[in-house]
Amino acid sequence: MARAQLPYPTPKELEVLQVLWEEEPCSVRQMMEQLGRRRPRAYSSVLNLLNTMTDKGLLMRKAHGSAYLYKARIDRERTNGGLVKDLLNRAFSGSAASLITHALKQGKPTAEELDAITRAIKDYRGGHGVR
């Protein structure tokens, strides 16, 4: 029996997408090198993952000589937004404050990141009529 398709990329698929969002297009060999910086991967494993992701509609590929070049078919912002919304609802019962508190504790943001978060909150308040 086939496994049910998840509404969002798996952790391994997300690793591939993060590489492609930064450095697309990539060949299998280029992807293997990028992913190998975190931990070594076999060429066949990377190839199988890229083919599976192409079949699922997450990637597109184009022939380039004797190889294929892969590009992301899904947008980073939309994907990350869906993942955060899912986490917010499933793990934090919809509480943005709880999610942010946990993110701050786990992420240990730098002063620059805290400044960016503060600006984002100010921008949100200004754009949504919140006082």
Listed by start position, the domains of the chain span 11-72, 95-131
- Predicted TM-score of the model (pTM): 0.79
pLDDT of 95 > 60? The answer is yes
Domain boundaries 11-72, corresponding CATH code: 1.10.10.10
Place 126 in a pLDDT band, splitting at 50, 70 and 90.
confident
Q: Which residue has the higher pLDDT, 118 or 7?
A: 118
Residues 91 and 24: their CA atoms lie apart, in Å, by 33
Helical (H) or strand (E) element with 49: helix 43-55
Residues 86 and 123: their CA atoms lie apart, in Å, by 23
Contact assessment for residue 46 and residue 28, using Cβ atoms and an 8 Å cutoff: yes
Percent of the chain exceeding pLDDT 90 equals: 78
Query: How confident is the model at residue 131, as a pLDDT?
Result: 61
The region that residue 109 occupies, defined by phi over 0 for left and psi between -120 and 50 for alpha, beta otherwise, is beta
